[in-house]
Amino acid sequence: MAAKKSVWASVVAAALLGLMWVVFESGFFDPQGGAAGSATGPAAEQLAELRVAQSVSMDGYSRERFKHWITKPEAGKNCNTREAVLARDGQNVRSNNACEPTSGTWTSVYSGQQLTDPSAIDIDHMVPLANAWRSGANKWDDQRREQFANDMELPQLVAVDASSNRSKGDQDPSQWKPERANWCSYATSWITVKRSYDLTVTEPEKKALQEMLATCG
């Protein structure tokens, strides 16, 4: 009887191990954060609409082709895009007559780090200029590129700590991600910008965005 119980226990254990392997391989289990599920909602629907294509050549690319930071008179006298974003994204921001922020508090949307020194803050392009070039902006005229580089209507410009910005560089979400707690908002913003400007995504980029959107909710 004991032998039969031992054999039965082995069979059950083997079956459970097999089931766990199937679940792991199917992607429904995330070893870093538990059950991952699948991405749903408006952002996932917008991602499905993006055209998948390989990155194009960087031939002809230059940051100067994306003029920034331009004057933003609607933000105040003497203000440019960088200063306007700092005023928008900070708390208790004080600026001088040249519209340069002199004090305030900012929270980096990539790391969660709190910053009080305006000179230590970078204004990052959510979709980097070089990435945009590789995914369709190479065909734009310079006016369209200037609009993209200074767009404050979309979540394209964000105040972040310099370290995160340097780490990100021009990489897409398959190559760089912010802290996991910010995956949902980051992926949603990335997709919003790419869809609004009709930019393409690569296969690895799309897969990474789906993984990040699965943390929403």
Structure tokens at 185: 């908002």
- Measured in whole angstroms, the distance separating CA 49 from the mean position of its chain's CA atoms is 18
Give the mean model confidence (pLDDT) for residues 113-132.
97
**Mean pLDDT, residues 16-20 taken together:** 38
> Per-domain residue ranges for the chain?
1-30, 38-213
Task: Name which of 16-20, 112-116, 140-144, 160-164 the model is least confident about.
Answer: 16-20
The interaxial angle of helices 183-196 and 42-49, nearest 10 deg, is: 40
Q: Which pLDDT does position 217 carry in this prediction?
A: 84
Angle made by CA atoms 28, 34, 35, in degrees to the nearest 5:
35
Q: What is the pTM of this model?
A: 0.82
pLDDT band, residue 17 (cuts 50/70/90): very low
Can you give the pLDDT at residue 40?
75
**33-89: per-residue pLDDT in tens?**
333 446 778 999 999 999 999 999 999 999 999 999 999 999 888 999 999 999 999
